[in-house]
Chain A
Amino acid sequence: MTENARSNGGPSGHVGIGLFDRATTVVPAQDIRCPLPDPASREISRRQFLHTIGAAGALVALKASGVQRILASEDLDAIAAGTLDIATDHQWVMVFDLRRCDGCRDCIKGCQKEHFLPKEVEWIKVYDLVDAQGLEYSMPVLCMECENAPCVRVCPARATYYQPDGVIVVDQSICIGCRMCMAACPYDVRVFNWDRQPQPPVPPEHRGTRPEFTAPQRKGTVGKCAMCVHRLRLGEFPACVEACTMDAIYVGDLVEDVMSNGKETFMLSQYLRANDAFRYRAELGTAPRVYYVAGHGQDLDF
């Protein structure tokens, strides 16, 4: 594990002199594993999966029934108390397989359900685009958790910052609402809580006050996807990964070099190389952590 990946400043390592630097709790690992409740998450090889359509059908039915565990506040308290490892030996990434994305927007619904967002607020957006041949395809875009993020650099209050496992969070108890980060983000993934729509009610046991998970969202601050890092630290998949009915979304770890969508697991570097994965607008030098496998939904026609 290199020093850089662990520091509180991303690859260039500079967050500033910081009179009041944020300290994140680092405790030795206690491997907390929460086995997923649905038995269909058994490991099967990729080859088998593509051939076993019946199993896929059963999985789809199970997903649609909403087997998605929403985090409880005692879990979040455990993170705060430091009894849960804040994963300093992980560097999270996500992979989107555009050969499987059908633009159904289940990922958006899963995300909104997890974070109690109104349906107008989208932390993951799905764009319907047209490729060079004039064919339509869909591309989900969420916060790229850039290693060289422009948004972290420009926040005047240091309300948005890197966590040790690479994810960028917004502390809504600090954010002054200047929206400079929204101007700086080249991917348009940050939203402002204008508080114009009624928010879905958040039951007391699901309220969150931490930067990784804030529910309900605070008015007058900026919100964005944080790769559901509050779930990742508890051994759960992000909400969009679980909600995706096409298994097109994977979460991965650069340190362990593995990626999984809950059903199929691959070696990350190998998969990315074999499928010529790319990163969106990487030429801007942001070093995003979200990879895409180019496609136009061709794997949908099986």
Chain B
Amino acid sequence: MVALSDRSGELARAALAPASRSGRLSRAIVAMLGVLVLGGIAAYGYQLVNGLGVTGLNDDVFWGLYEVDIVTLIGFSYGGALVSAILRLTGASWRGPITRIAEATALTTLVVGAVFPIIHLGHPERVWRVATALQINSPITWDMLAIITYLIATVILFGLPVVADMGRLRGEPGLPGWKQRLFARGSFGWVGAEEQQRVLNRSLTALAIVIIPLAVMVHTVLAYAFSLTSRPGWHSTIFGPYFVVAAIYSGVAVVIIVSAAYRRAYHLEHWIPERAVINLGYLMAALGVLYGYLLFTEVTTEGYVGGEASEKLLYALLLDRWSLLFWVFVVGGLVVPLTIIAFKRTRTTTGVTVAACLVAGALLLKRFLMFVPPLTQPLISGDIGAYTPSWVELMVTVAAIAAIPLLLIALFKVIPVLSVTEIEEIAVSRGEAI
């Protein structure tokens, strides 16, 4: 306990660091992100007035960049759930410094991603009808129910440790008044007592157990909106697992990026050791191998005896119209990141972060390749379709990507960026100094 109290003050200060510092650089970043978000909102307003005709969509390719955004952003949120929940259940002790960032990333990407199913509607003001009509056979209804359930679980998974941290940190010197009052109310009487800690651990373990199948369910029903149709390229039994693995893969990548960013920005190198980032990199690499295996299975099955429509689609993807994008994805999203993590020379925090950036971007590209090329293939006969996202879709997408760090920055002004309670608890249980 002596070792603990030596550094616990430093830990607390580090956890609250993003709240205090607000240098010129961070202000400039916030301003830029804010401009991008406002631009996206303005573009969406334009779409609300003029209808979906302002997008690049047409009767052949009626689902495009917005649907890619839905799946990609909600996919990002699974990584956070995985890092927090699965690592807790497996007892990985290195998870301590990362769980807060992971859960926060999961929450923000989910919140931003959950807006897109409303953005892609022709009549968003009628979205309430999905709840009243309750067409229980519809994948869109499943989407709505699954996302709401997952959102509830993620908020609770994020919120309970925050409550504990608020109790832990309310007495810290240097807290502004409003924060002291907020922490006092939000701590629900947490003082770090042993019984309270036991209750918290039990609840978080139960939540971790529940949230893993919930996350699987969310991404599977997102996949069902595509695979429960009879379109070549979509009607594949692998879509459920495909989406789930892609989600975890890209989600872990985003957790790496956010961890590395905060680690560098607020000099948290001591608290987020290189080992934690490298371990996340290993996790990401393992998922990458799994994703590569699923991709290989899909291509082989469709290519060997897929029927005329599947053959045309596969040819277009691998060798013809979409081949550049496809192979850029394979190299940039699978080969290069896995190579970076495989070799010790490149397996540094910088290397892992670069690999993670490549993965996150490549998987956005892969979702595009999964959704748009099958729609360009005519179902019966006729000309191949075409799709170019319009400026409206691009601006909204960029705004969404900018909104995530903006929300994270805002969040960590209030919430501590490290889960102090958890780090201390892990150290105590292992008899170590923090």
Contact = CB atoms under 8 A, between A and B. Distances in A.
A contacts B: CB pair < 8 Å: yes
Interface of A: 14, 16-20, 127-129, 141, 150, 153-159, 174-180, 182-184, 186-188, 191-196, 219-221, 284
Contacts of A154: 135, 137-140, 228
A103 to B, nearest CB: 13
B174 interface: no
A175 B122 CA distance: 8
Contacts, number: 126
Contacts of A175: 122-123, 126
Contacts of B231: 183, 186
Contact of A127 (B133, B229, B382): B382
B133 A19 contact: yes
Contact of A155 (B59, B122, B135): B135
Contacts of B123: 175-177, 220-221
Q: Which 4 pairs from chain A and chain B are nearest by CB?
A: A177-B122, A220-B122, A156-B140, A194-B53
B378 interface: yes
Given A154-B140, A182-B62, A188-B380, A176 B135 contact: no
B51 interface: yes
B142 to A, nearest CB: 9
B38 interface: no
B133 A221 contact: no
A174 B126 contact: yes
B129 interface: yes
B392 to A, nearest CB: 13
A279 B144 CA distance: 36
B141 interface: yes
Contacts of B51: 194-195, 219-220
B134 A18 contact: yes
B51 to A, nearest CB: 5
A175 B136 CA distance: 16
Interface in B210-259: 225-226, 228-231, 234
Q: How large is the interface on B (under 10, 10 to 19, 20 to 34, 35 or more residues)?
A: 35 or more
Contact of A156 (B57, B138, B228, B382): B138
B35 interface: no
B393 to A, nearest CB: 14
Interface of B is mostly: loop
B126 A157 contact: yes
Contacts of A284: 230
14 contacts: A18-B133, A19-B134, A157-B135, A176-B122, A176-B123, A177-B52, A178-B122, A179-B62, A182-B62, A186-B379, A191-B59, A194-B52, A196-B53, A220-B121
Interface of B: 51-53, 57-59, 62-63, 117, 120-124, 126-127, 129-130, 132-141, 144, 225-226, 228-231, 234, 378-382
Nearest to B141: A156
Contacts of A159: 129
Given A19-B132, A180-B225, A188 B140 contact: no
Most chain A CB inside 10 Å of its own CB: which residue of B123, B124, B129, B228: B123
A157 B137 contact: no
A187 B230 CA distance: 10
Contact of A153 (B58, B138, B379): B138
A128 B51 CA distance: 33
Contact of A194 (B57, B121, B127, B381): B57
A176 B121 contact: yes
A150 B140 CA distance: 14
Contacts of B59: 182, 191-192, 194
Given A155-B138, A156-B135, A176-B127, A187 B63 contact: no
Contacts of A174: 126, 129
A178 to B, nearest CB: 6
A18 B372 CA distance: 33
Nearest to A175: B123
A125 to B, nearest CB: 8
